[in-house]
Amino acid sequence: MRSKEDVIQSITPTHNRKFLYHFTRVRNLQAIAHLDSLLSSYSIHPYCTGERRTKPKEVNYGKYPVTINAHLRIPEHMMEAGCTLEEFRSFLDKHVFFWPTMKDCQKMMETYSRREPDENFAVLVLDAFSLLMENFSHVSLSKYDSGSSPRFPKHCTYRKSPEMFVALDDFKIKLNKTVPVKASEVREVLIEAKVTDISRVLRMIYVEDPEMLPVHWKQMARPMTDFNNGSVIDRLPADMLPIGESDGLL
């Protein structure tokens, strides 16, 4: 029987997969830091479930304003038989999204930056092993950008539905052409509902201006230009290294 450690190590085998990346709006950072959590959009605003958000939606969560992303338009014929667009959007909204490599997150950032050129974004970088271990039973993996709107949908070889995800515990057990079967095929990591105590696994934050960060996170700031350029990260303190790393050269 496989251990949780073995499963996680099988999807984080290379140096560029030791972190998980989450991008958000700078304006959301105060709420994230106060709660020390990342919440799904449904957890923040459990209304109009399945309905498409055509533009970002500003809501209040407690005493903090939070902006929830819009849904990209997914063509109806991209859907798997038996799954409606409303059902699929509802499924996505109940998860927190991460990207397994810097390159994957850069592509998502580019998409949103083109659509919202005046918005300020930040990228949170978290230790993959610790995050996956702590949320093991709530993690799903995808081979595709699940919320995307393909440019040429008729040429796509897959259809969208919850069946395009595989539970972390079923990785390399559930085998078909729709789900990832090796680490290099994992394009998204989803965690159901929320991720708590993120300060314990947060390693750095890419942001334009460190002054935008809560005081207790400022020491983790890295220039957004480093993220955009895909620059190698400088040496980290020993207590900020990914699990299993013997040196700090990242």
Q: Is the pLDDT of residue 140 over 50?
A: yes
pTM score, two decimals? 0.92
Quick check: helix, strand or coil at residue 75? coil
Helix runs in 45-188, H state only:
85-93, 102-115, 128-134
Q: pLDDT tens-digit profile of 88-135?
A: 999 999 999 999 999 999 999 998 999 999 999 999 999 999 999 999
d(Cα 167, Cα 31) in Å, to the nearest integer?
Answer: 29
The C-alpha atoms of residue 143 and residue 99 are separated, in whole angstroms, by: 11
* 179-237: pLDDT as tens digits: 999 999 999 999 999 999 999 999 999 999 999 998 999 999 999 999 998 865 544 54
Q: How far apart are CA 30 and CA 138, in angstroms?
A: 25
User: Rounded to whole angstroms, what are the CA distances from 117 to 48, 70, 94, 183?
Assistant: 27, 15, 27, 33
| DSSP letter (8 states) at residue 161 | S
Amino acid, single-letter form, for residue 141: L
Taken in order 79, 83, 84, 88, is the CA torsion positive or negative?
A: negative
